[in-house]
Amino acid sequence: MNASLEQRQYYAHSMEGQPPEKWQLLEEHLKNTANLARKFAEPFGAGDWGWNADWLHDIGKAYAGND
């Protein structure tokens, strides 16, 4: 068994002309937008639904085949 694990960085948003250090990581983006969706959905009792739905909205960007 190979003891080393490959760790990849996935990005939600990149900025033209900027280095990857300035790009927004996918995990950060998903957490931020999910928290915002929860706030919007809480007044009608669907905060958890909003959070979960939003967490999944860009998860396809983490597909390894996108390289």
pLDDT in tens, 28-53: 999 999 999 999 999 999 999 999 99
Q: Is 40 a member of any domain?
A: yes
Q: Is 4 a member of any domain?
A: no
Tell which residue, 32, 50, 33, has the closest CA to residue 41: 50
What's the whole-model pTM score? 0.71
Pick the most confident of 16-25, 29-38, 55-64: 29-38
Q: Is 26 a member of any domain?
A: yes
* pLDDT of the residue at 21: 86
Q: Is 16 a member of any domain?
A: no
Q: Is 46 a member of any domain?
A: yes
Q: Is the pLDDT of residue 1 over 70?
A: no
Q: Which two tokens stand for residue 34?
A: 């999910």
Pick the most confident of 1-15, 31-45, 48-62: 31-45
Distance CA(61)–CA(67), nearest Å, equals 10
- 18 φ, ψ (degrees, to nearest 5): -110, 145
**DSSP state for residue 18 in the 8-state scheme:** S
C-alpha dist (Å) from residue 55 to 30, 35, 49: 5, 9, 10
Q: Is 9 a member of any domain?
A: no
Can you give the residue range of the structural domain that contains 43? 22-62
Total tally of structural domains belonging to the chain: 1
